[in-house]
Amino acid sequence: MLTRIKDSATKLAPRLIEIRRHIHSHPELSGQEYQTSAFVAGVLSSSGLHVQEGIGKTGVIGELQNTGTDQRVLAIRTDMDALPIQERTKLEYASHTEGVMHACGHDVHTTVGLGTAMVLSEMAEELGGKVRFLFQPAEEIAQGASWMVNDGAMANVSAILGVHVFPSIPAGSIGIRYGALTAAADDLEIIISGESGHGARPHEAIDAIWIASQVITALQQAISRTQNPLRPVVLSIGKITGGRAPNVIAD
């Protein structure tokens, strides 16, 4: 079977490259993956899978069913959303959407999920159990997984495989690690309330931007001085907003 899988994947490679470039050219933000979902559903349907759309708002499920008595379900999960980043690669298949691009590899993830479905559909009668392909929306805002779970995407699942590209691993290789592979992620939001005033009289105001700069610096110092350096911890401040005019102290 392994030889058949390799042969099938090789035969499908040109089509999968085409699929990946199409998805890359038409990125959609978290929770807005309408065209991507429709495209995914079309490819799955054409490969003979039973397809459900609108699972977890814009998620898609494709199930490869067998005719045997084995009721185990293996889920394969990939994600579909893009990021609010402007693409400047100038590639022929670069993003057609202003300010949105697939900068985290979800176009590849979706293609891997579709390619796996296409390959396994050719040998469905030989598989034990069922294979359920989960195409998840809104991974970047850490919402899509719970949306799909709440809509029953994980019902009767015996095991699940998650997929992510990893640039440091050579192409054609798969990385496996026992135990945790990537860290949990949490969002941190800090609101600093100051008091507005004239930019020429900062002593009469409470400058929220100046305070914010001290907080950011202190947080980075705290990481290096309070955490075990042998246990990786990362704190990144990705967005800071404040102020209304260049000559007014920010509140």
- pLDDT at position 76 is 97
Taking residues 223-242, what's their average pLDDT?
A: 90
User: How confident is the model at residue 178, as a pLDDT?
Assistant: 81
> What would the pLDDT profile of 173-226 be if each residue is shown by its tens digit?
888 888 777 777 788 899 999 999 999 999 999 999 999 999 999 999 998 899
With 80 as the cut, is the pLDDT of residue 100 above it? yes
Q: Give tens-digit pLDDT for 28-42.
A: 999 999 999 999 999
CA distances from 23 to 82, 89, 133, 166, 237 (A): 10, 16, 18, 19, 29
132, β-bridge pairs: 63, 75
What is the β-pairing status of strands 130-136 and 159-162? unpaired
Is the predicted pLDDT of residue 68 greater than 80, yes or no? no
Question: What separation in angstroms does the CA of 138 have from each of 28, 95, 146, 233, 234?
Answer: 10, 18, 10, 24, 22
More confident residue, 69 or 49: 49
* pTM summary value: 0.84
Contact 64, 131 (CB under 8 A): yes
Least confident window among 55-59, 125-129, 208-212: 125-129
How far is 131 from 234, CA to CA, in rounded Å?
Answer: 36
- The pLDDT value given to residue 25: 98
Band (73; pLDDT cuts 50, 70, 90): very high
pLDDT at 12 over 80: yes
- Going 109 to 50 to 147 to 161, the CA torsion angle's sign is negative
Rounded average pLDDT over 113-130:
91
**pLDDT tens per residue, range 79-92:** 999 999 999 999 99
